[in-house]
Structure 1
Amino acid sequence: MSNLNKKEIIILGGGISGLATAWYLHKAGISFKLIEKEEETGGVISSQKAKETVFDFGPNSLRDHDGFIRELAEEAGLKDDIIQISEAFKTRFIVRNRELQRLTPSVKTLATTEVLSVKAKVRMLAEPFIPKGETEDESVGAFLERRIGKEAVEYLVDPVFSGIYAGDIFKMSKYEILPKLAETENKFGSLVMGMFRSKREKSEIKPMILTFKKGIQQLTNAVTEKLSAHILNEEVINLKKIRSGFEVKTDAGTHQASTVITCLPAYTLCSIMSEFNPELSQTLGKIDYAPMLSTQVIFNKKDIEFPESGFGFLVPRKENIRLLGAIWKSSIFPELTSEGKLHYTLMAGGAHDRSILSSPVEKIEEAIVQEFSELMGISANPTVIKSKLWTKAIPQFQVGYGRIRNEITKSEQENQGLYVGGNYRWGVSVPDCVKGAKELVNDVLL
């Protein structure tokens, strides 16, 4: 049994949210302990190396808008290990009628692409003349179907958000997923008119999409190594309020502190708070998580005649294909792939396909590799197929999620010294979690 100093802070959970929180406390000179049940930190950030090719089974790239990721990486000693994405990322593909259709970020491409019919393009142009909707929350699908039309939602919006959130756009909250667009409609009555009339925020930080020489996990490994003296490999069993603060019971003992910052997943926190705060426990239990299967495939370059380069492709659910999409890893980060090989990350599962939880992984692999090969025109067999199943991969920000946020905030206010963080609070991306951790630590230090 170990008893921590009452002034010490306890962090629960060693995913990127917990690690980033620990890092910022460490920088501020604040004493803390981080409790993580797994020997390997990082949560769903998972990288492996096989014959000079790096597999990322979780996030495949980091979109660093505000510079926090680069700052953290440099402080952790990874400045020289940062790899910037290639120009290929600007070209993406959407599947329509089982064929890949090119998309690039330009008005010309949107006008000429075969992803949308002429009728759908005309409907999108009518957006400024569509009446403003009500201000209450609604789904992303319903919101954008009103604004830009059904076909554009089916072939542009659905695949994009399925790729990012693995979610159902007709359940996802517009205020959670598209807060700026929702605000634009409320303020200007039109998304297009709002874009013209809104002042663009200027930033001195140049955005960058990046990874590391050993994959995304190199970041969490580096932070973990520097904080190793503060990390306890124990499983949290129970959290309760005591007179002097909080008591954390683990499978190895009991710890006390005046401040607890939890970055555990909602479904885990739900369990350990059931006695201490049953109301919040019930609220956390309502947060849905979508499963994901990440499948890495490698082909011999000489066996494939596919001259295109790009980020990859996404598949609209309307296409009735199990595959959600594919990232052309050797195209966007060629430094991470063995010479003479082509590496792709295939994605399956999500809110629309929870059967991946009950189907044998080998059967799913066979199905999605076949779909991928047909879409890419590949007749050769891959030399490597390796998968990782995440049973609870991505929290779903569904319509009405604001009520969940309010309950969490209320609980923090009623229990001074308790802070709740993590991707279901801050956003699903790694940069969201790092930024959220930095802001939380600033609040703690006030």
Structure 2
Amino acid sequence: MSRLVIVGGGMAGLAAAYHAHRADPSLQVSLLEAAERLGGKVSTVAEEGFVLEGGPDAVVRYKPWALALMKELGLEGQVVGTLPAQPSALIHDGERALPIPAGLQMVVPGDLKALALTPLLSPFGKARALLDLLLPRGQAGDEPFGAFIQRRLGRQVWERLAAPLSGGIYGGDPYSLSTLAAFPQLKALEQEHGSLVRGALKQRSQRGSREAGQLFASLEGGLGQWVRALEHKLTGVTVRLGTAATALERRGESWRIHTPEGWLEADAVILATPASVSARLLEPLHPSAAGALRQIPYGDSATVSLAFPLEGLPPRVGHGMLIATGRNFAVRGFTWTDQKWKGRAPEGYGLVRAYFSGVRADEAELVRLALADLQRLWGKVPPPERSWVFRWQEGLPHYTLGHQQRVAAAMEAESLPGLFLAGAAYFGVGLPEVVRMGQEKAARAVEFLRAVPTNTPHGQSGRVG
């Protein structure tokens, strides 16, 4: 019996464990998670009729891997779309909240009529964006995302549209994002069509618009149901919570994973851990890969959910609001959770979620900052009846310039026989990308184990479990 150990019980590790066990039920699969629960930043709390998402609250439909896994788990009937409020979201430019233009393809205008009519951009800003149709094609190499968008579409599109949207996905400083790592599709549009706008116009018919209410999907009762469904399917997997991997050792043709409770042997290992954890484990085995992993920056993020009686709230439009750059808000954006998803708040209550990136503060201060920004938006804010705070210190990898080179160097660790890397640090921070990577690395691990006979006694371990 071959043995596979997966270190890390976030969505990448869960997807890897599920896929490996399903691909070969004869495998002895163990999943180690340092925390006392599985799911990583997917964290749903249900209390007194409220359903709170501590981390991501949705998956995008046009990246199929997350929804495909939900269907495989029997959750297809519980998949829900956003409520049909129009428009889906606004962007606050520092003075007023304005709708995101219709037909947007990622962060690029894909509807010329909507671009002409949007009050989010001045006449000059609109003309500058259309100049993209005439500009020469740029170089194929990488560049900061902010520089790329300003070069093609101008400063207004960057500050009022692209920066708040991309910052809401990746956090941190969106200007410094690696274009090739974070938005390779946009670089491809420029290279293929010579223009972002021209490419977006051609793409528009292939993807549902942002306002159609079908860009995002979740589950009834929150994404925590997804984690629970995966846990239920891992009956043949040994899951050890509260068990951190402290060291990784190569012993002949096998691996030894050390933990505070002892050690266990494996024929293959998947490290589905943050880059810093993987770097620490790999330092004695592959110093150059460990060095590259340590160079992947991470930032803090947090969400604050606030429950208000509806009678005290001003009218709220759509599903939420993003904040344009440089407007001196602490919050990156707000979600009107009760207007975005059905059944997330009891009747008579509104549920507001604030998203922070790069703000390190205690729970009380985060609540204060969220309320202060709401007061700036609304003029008057009633005291919330309940608040919930979720903090993720160093929880979000930042794909800064040079990210692809760092990832390529980190992946050299996979030259070690039977070692694989997965997670949000590499090829996408969204749940669909993380799930896909976990599944792909599980498939490679299974293929490796089928080709390489085990040489150590089956089930050998040292005081773990």
Residue 192 of structure 1: aligned partner? 197
Deviates more, 1:103-112 or 1:422-431: 103-112
> After the TM superposition, which residues 291-306 of structure 1 pair with which residues of structure 2 at under 5 Å, given as runs?
291-306=300-315
Give the aligned residue type for 1:10: V
Q: Distance in 2 between matches of 1:338 and 1:330?
A: 9
Instruction: State the alpha-carbon separation in 2 of the partners of residues 183 and 70 from structure 1.
Output: 25
How far residue 89 of structure 1 moved from its aligned partner, in angstroms, is 6.9
Equivalent residue, structure 1, for 2:123: 118
Q: 1:201 offset after TM fit, Å?
A: 6.8
Would you say 1:243 and 2:240 are equivalent positions?
Answer: no
Show structure 2 runs of 5+ residues with no match: 104-110, 448-465
Q: Tell me whether 103-112 or 392-401 shows the greater mean CA deviation.
A: 103-112
Which of 13, 36, 39 is the equivalent residue of 2:36?
39
Q: CA, structure 1 residues 96+338, in 2 after alignment: closer, same or farther (shift >3 Å)?
A: same
- Deviation, 1:143, is 0.5
- Equivalent position SS for 2:384: coil
Q: How far apart in 1 are the matches of 2:334 and 2:382?
A: 17
Alignment-derived partner of residue 233 in structure 2: 226
Q: Distance in 2 between matches of 1:145 and 1:377?
A: 33
Deviations 1:77-100 (A, max 9, x none): 434433222223752111113321
Counterpart residue number, 2:289? 280
Residue 425 of structure 1 aligns to a residue in which SS? coil
Structure 1 residue identity aligned to 2:386: V
**1:168: which partner in 2?**
173
Q: Distance in 2 between matches of 1:275 and 1:178?
A: 34
Change in Cα spacing, 1:171 to 1:104, as seen in structure 2 (3 Å) is closer
The yes-or-no answer on 1:27 pairing with 2:22 is yes
Partner of 1:422: 423
- Bigger shift: 7-16 or 222-231? 222-231
> In the alignment, is residue 14 of structure 1 matched against residue 9 of structure 2?
yes
> 1:253 corresponds to which letter in structure 2?
G
Aligned to 2:276: 267
Bigger drift between 365-374 and 191-200 goes to 191-200
Describe the shift of the 1:438–1:201 C-alpha distance in structure 2 as closer, same or farther (beyond 3 A).
Answer: farther
- Pair 196,292 (structure 1): closer, same or farther in 2 beyond 3 Å: closer
Mapped to 2, the partners of 1:409 and 1:254 lie a distance apart of: 25
Alpha-carbon distance, 1:331 to partner: 0.7
| Count of residue pairs the alignment pairs up | 431
Supply the distance in 1 between the matched residues of 2:340 and 2:435 (Cα, whole angstroms): 23
Q: Name the amino acid aligned to 1:37.
A: A
Cα shift readout 1:135-170 (whole Å, capped 9, x = no counterpart):
221110000100000111011111111111112122
Q: Aligned-pair RMSD on alpha carbons? A: 2.3
SS at match of 1:318: coil
Aligned-partner Cα distance in 2 for 1:199–1:98: 30
1:138 aligns with 2:143: yes
Aligned 8 A contact 1:298 1:343 in 2: yes
Separation in structure 2 between the aligned mates of residue 127 and residue 240 of structure 1, nearest angstrom: 53
Change in 2 beyond 3 A, CA 1:67/1:184: closer
Range with greater deviation from structure 2 (365-374 or 320-329): 365-374
The answer to whether structure 1 residue 55 and structure 2 residue 52 are counterparts is yes
Deviation track 1:257-282 (CA, whole Å, cap 9, x = no partner) reads 22111101111111122212221111
Amino acid at match of 1:442: A
- Offset, 1:197: 6.7
Give the stretch that moved more between structures: 421-430 or 109-118: 109-118
Per-residue deviation at 1:194?
Answer: 3.6
How far did 1:40 drift? 0.5
- Tell me the SS of whatever aligns to 2:180: helix
* Separation in 2, partners of 1:207, 1:290: 30
SS at match of 2:234: helix
Q: One-letter code of the match for 1:345?
A: R
- Deviation, 1:243, is 1.2
Following the alignment from structure 2 to structure 1, what is the Cα–Cα distance between the partners of residues 44 and 172? Answer: 24
Q: CA deviation at 1:199?
A: 11
In structure 2, relative to structure 1, the CA distance for the partners of 1:196 and 1:341 (3 Å cut) is closer
The Cα of 1:127 is off from its aligned counterpart by 0.6
Deviation at 1:322, TM superposition (A): 1.1
Offset of residue 312 of structure 1 = 0.7
Identity of aligned residues (%): 24
Contact 2:24 2:446 in 1 (8 A): no
Instruction: Tell me the CA shift for residue 212 of structure 1.
Output: 2.1
Task: Give the deviation of 1:76 after TM superposition.
Answer: 3.1
Out of 51, 72, 82, the position equivalent to 2:79 is 82
Change (3 A) 1:299 1:110: farther
The answer on whether the counterparts of 1:103 and 1:109 sit within 8 Å (CA) in structure 2 is no
1:257-406, aligned counterparts within 5 Å?
Answer: 257-306=266-315, 308-350=316-358, 356-357=359-360, 359-406=361-408
1:235 is paired with a residue whose SS is coil
Q: Secondary structure at the match of 1:335?
A: coil
Take 2:368 and 2:295, find their aligned partners in 1: how far apart are those partners?
34
**Aligned letter for 2:439?**
K
- Counterparts of 1:316 and 1:176, CA distance in 2: 23
SS at match of 1:379: coil
Higher alpha-carbon deviation: 289-298 or 275-284: 275-284
1:172-224, CA deviations, whole angstroms, 9 ceiling, x for partnerless residues?
10001111111222333322334467898799xx9762222322112112211
User: 1:81 & 1:200 partners in 2: Cα distance?
Assistant: 27
TM-score (norm 1): 0.90
Secondary structure of the structure 1 residue equivalent to 2:46: strand
Which residue matches 2:443?
A: 442
The DSSP-based 3-state class of the residue aligned with 2:119 is: coil
Listed one character per residue, the Cα deviations across residues 17-72 of structure 1 (whole Å, up to 9, x for unaligned) are 00001111121124111111222011111111121110101001121325433332
The answer on whether the counterparts of 1:103 and 1:110 sit within 8 Å (CA) in structure 2 is: no
